[in-house]
Structure formats: C-alpha cells, structure tokens
C-alpha cells in the first residue's frame, strides 16, 4: 500500500486523512494516509522514520512548515518565497522536494467561489506564515495590486520587499484604499473570535471577503464583511481542500474532484 501522512503538533484535529482518502477513492488510487504527531523537537527524526518505512509523500502543518522547507534539497517558488513547505516527497535519488500548495489552494478556491483575480485589487490582512504562502500565487493569478495590512507594519513591509514586485505594497491603516475587489483575512484573529483592525469601507465594492479560517459557523470577519457591503463571504474550508488536491496531484499525477469533498466536510462540521 502506498504510504502518505500528515505531520503536525497538535494533529488530532486534521481533516487531511479524510480528504485524501476521498480523493484516492474517487481517482481509483490505493493509498494509506495517516496522522503523525511529531514531538516539537523531533520532526526531522519522525520524517526520517517515515521515509525509512516506505513513505512516499507527506503534508506538514503547524509548527513544522518552516523546518520542512529548511530540510529540503529543492523547493518550488511558492515554498521558497514563504520559506515554508506544506508538501514533501522524495525523488528517485532520495532528494527531498518541498512544495507550498497553500497559495494555489487559495487561488483555486477564490476562483471557484466567484472571485475574478485577473486585474483585481486585493487587500491581504496579516503578515504571518499564512500570508507569506499566498503572495506568489496571487501575483501569478494576475492581480493588479496586492496591499498587505498588518498590525505590525514591518512584517508586511518584509513580505512586500521579498516579493520583488511593485504590485505588492505594505499599507498603513491611514493609507488603506477605500475599496478592494477581494479582502483576504490571513490573521489568526478569527481563531480568537476577534476582528483584525480594518475600516468598514474596504468592503464597499468587495466581491469576495475570504477568511482563511473555518469553523462550524461564519467567523466575525465574515459577519463584519457582510454587514459592510461584501457580496460573498467565504471561509477557508475550500482552501484546505484545494491545497490538499494540489498535493495529491504532486504525489500521484491525478487531479481529484473537490466539490463533493468540500460539501461532505461542510456537512460534517455542521454536525460536530
């Protein structure tokens, strides 16, 4: 049986085994996908054990994404810019290849949810690990401008400077443009049930307000965006499914259908 896994700490909450099992079934691929709770200081050891046991590929989640990137022999551009990887595999020579599929997952889901990214003006809230992973794929999707607003301005400035693109601009609260086509919340504020500091007018012409977080009900950010003019509010469940689909394709070459998987997970979280 082909062996895949997701590494994290904590990991019990991970939906990845459910998602990949559904992908495998729909593509007619036989695989085993498990969760690995790696010790905080024992990721590299756990990864080595996995390869030695015949593992073919894995996903990596918090807090090991930066370490996964650092261990790699080769990285795709998204992982290089984020300095973090969520997908690993080894080539025929045993070289460790690292990818970051979070950004392509976001872009694919934004497209699926009706956001037109070509020529769009985007506001990205937050400048942590989640933000870093999505900048390059958003640029590749043809956005006109990508403004980054973060509580700590210097982190937004660092991402803008690393992107080496004039389209990426770190903005202050005072210099935020009045309106954006798409507003993306990558801060961890929703996890604490709070709203990042953002003026209501940014949602006036907003087609999609996207929160990378997901839960059993809409986040405070989604509610706020809806109350202030956003046409659609979307949570991050679709991004989770799409980043997994991109990883599945990297490993197997198959392109799994995602709609039913997202639907199933949505029903699952309604009842949990």
The set of catalytic residues is: 65
Looking at beta carbons only, is 90 or 155 nearer to ligand ATR? 155
Gap between the Cα atoms of 219 and 221, Å rounded:
5
For 154, half-sphere exposure in the C-beta direction (CA atoms, 13 angstrom radius) is: 0
Minimal distance in Å, beta carbon 77 to ligand ATR? 19
Instruction: Considering the complex, state which of residue 152 and residue 175 has its C-beta at the smaller distance from ligand ATR.
Output: 152
* Cβ at position 129, least distance to ligand ATR in Å: 3
Helix axis angle, 259-271 to 16-27, nearest 10°: 140
Between CA 91 and CA 75 the distance in angstroms is 12
The nearest distance, CB 7 to ligand ATR, in angstroms, is 16
Shortest Å, Cβ 134 to ligand ATR: 10
- Report how far residue 127's alpha carbon sits from residue 169's, in angstroms, rounded to the nearest whole number: 12
- The contact set with ligand ATR (CB under 6 A) reads 126-130, 150-152, 155, 186-189, 194, 196
CA torsion angle for 101, 106, 107, 112 (degrees, to 10)?
Answer: 120
Query: Hey, which residues does 89 pair with through a beta bridge?
Result: 57, 97
Kindly state the tokens that stand for 237: 């469940």
Three-state SS at 184: strand
Please identify, using beta-carbon distances, which residue of 55 and 236 lies nearer to ligand ATR.
236
Residue closer to ligand ATR by CB (options 66, 254) is: 66
Nearest distance, CB of residue 189 and ligand ATR, angstroms: 4
Q: Which residue is nearest to ligand ATR (CB)?
A: 128
The residues, ordered by sequence, that sit 6+ positions from 224 with a Cβ below 8 Å of its Cβ are 195, 198, 200, 203
Q: In b/e form, how buried is each residue of 47-67, taking b as 16+ CB within 10 angstroms? A: beebbeeebebbbbbeebbbb
- If the CB atoms of residues 76 and 86 are measured against ligand ATR, the closer one turns out to be 86
């Amino acid at each position: 049986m082909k062996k895949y896994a997701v590494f994290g700490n904590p990991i019990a909450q991970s939906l990845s085994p459910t998602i990949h099992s559904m992908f495998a079934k729909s593509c007619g691929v036989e695989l085993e996908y498990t969760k690995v709770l790696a010790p905080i200081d024992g990721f590299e050891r756990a990864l080595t054990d996995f390869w030695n046991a015949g593992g073919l590929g894995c996903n990596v989640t918090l807090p090991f994404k930066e370490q996964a990137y650092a261990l790699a022999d080769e990285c795709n551009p998204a992982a290089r810019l984020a300095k973090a990887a969520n997908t690993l595999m080894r080539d025929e020579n045993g070289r460790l290849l690292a990818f970051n599929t979070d950004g392509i997952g976001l872009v694919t889901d934004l497209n699926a949810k009706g956001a037109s990214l070509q020529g769009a003006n985007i506001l990205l809230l937050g400048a942590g690990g989640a933000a870093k992973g999505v900048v390059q794929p958003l640029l590749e999707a043809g956005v006109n401008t990508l403004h980054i607003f973060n509580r700590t301005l210097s982190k937004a400035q660092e991402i803008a400077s690393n992107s080496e693109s004039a389209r990426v601009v770190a903005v202050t609260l005072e210099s935020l443009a009045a309106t954006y086509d798409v507003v993306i919340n990558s801060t961890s504020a929703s996890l604490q049930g709070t709203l990042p500091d953002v003026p209501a007018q940014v949602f006036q012409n907003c087609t999609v307000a996207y929160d990378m977080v997901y839960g059993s009900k809409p986040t405070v950010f989604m509610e706020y965006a809806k109350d202030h003019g956003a046409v659609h509010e979307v949570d991050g469940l679709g991004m989770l499914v799409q980043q997994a689909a991109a990883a599945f394709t990297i490993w197997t070459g198959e392109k799994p259908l995602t709609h039913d998987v997202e639907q199933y997970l949505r029903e699952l979280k309604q009842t949990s």
